[in-house]
Amino acid sequence: MKVKVPCTCYAPVDFEYDEVVDLAQAPEAANQIMAGSFMEVKCPKCGKALHPEFPFTVKHEGKKIDIQFLPERMRDDYLRGTSKYCFKKDGRIVIGFPELAEKLKVINEGFDDRVIEVIKYYMVSKIEADQKPENEIRAFFECTDSAGNLVFQVLGLKDNEAAQLTIPKSFYEVCKVKTLAYQKSEPFCLFLSPPYISLLRISRVYEEITEPEKKPEPEQKG
């Protein structure tokens, strides 16, 4: 599909993308998605690299991959149930490129994406309980280390910084058992119901810090 996207320099940029990306036919697309360079286009006027987001589907019949990608700007519509798109319940939905990159990394490692989200639930819950951060905490599976442990990237602890947390492979196995046993019970059913399996389905509300109420000063008698 051919569209025009605006650059920050106000120049219109011609952009073309496929509405269906078959990874069997274009395996390099998976690497581009995981590297963060997929759908990148440079403005011919100022040279800035743009990363426009449009809905598309990622498929690979042999690996049983069927993922519907939605741009981040469509998150609220989807969560409210007002999205105009139709979704397959036996497939997967991701919202935003970080979730798409993570999903492909999970598939490459042979992990169950539901178990990954359960791990993230325990990880984020502990961070919020221990540190009470002001920002929303987001965690994304990154890779496995040489010992097979799971490495996650955690955002929100500090502004404009990412942290790495390593989770033992043994904890993956523990969460796998919990996922199979409790995926239809709260709180797990709130973020494990297909097609959108993501901890980001749960909104987090932080306590608003307010100034203490000022008491009226006593009147001075003259």
pLDDT of residue 54: 95
Same domain, 143 and 157: yes
State the number of CA atoms in the 13 A half-sphere of 172 facing the CB.
19
Domain-embedded: residue 222:
no
Q: What is the pLDDT of residues 66-119, one digit of tens each?
A: 999 999 999 999 988 888 887 777 889 999 999 999 999 999 999 999 999 999
pLDDT of residue 160: 81
Cis peptide bond N-terminal to 71, omega within 30: no
Same domain, 105 and 52: yes
Interatomic CA distance for residues 79 and 97, integer angstroms: 17
What is the C-alpha end-to-end distance of the chain, expressed in Å? 80
Q: Which of 109, 138, 158 delimits the end of a domain?
A: 109
Same domain, 4 and 73: yes
How many domains does the structure of the chain reveal? Answer: 2
Residue 129: pLDDT above 70? yes
Same domain, 46 and 74: yes
105 within 8 A of 90, measured Cβ to Cβ: no
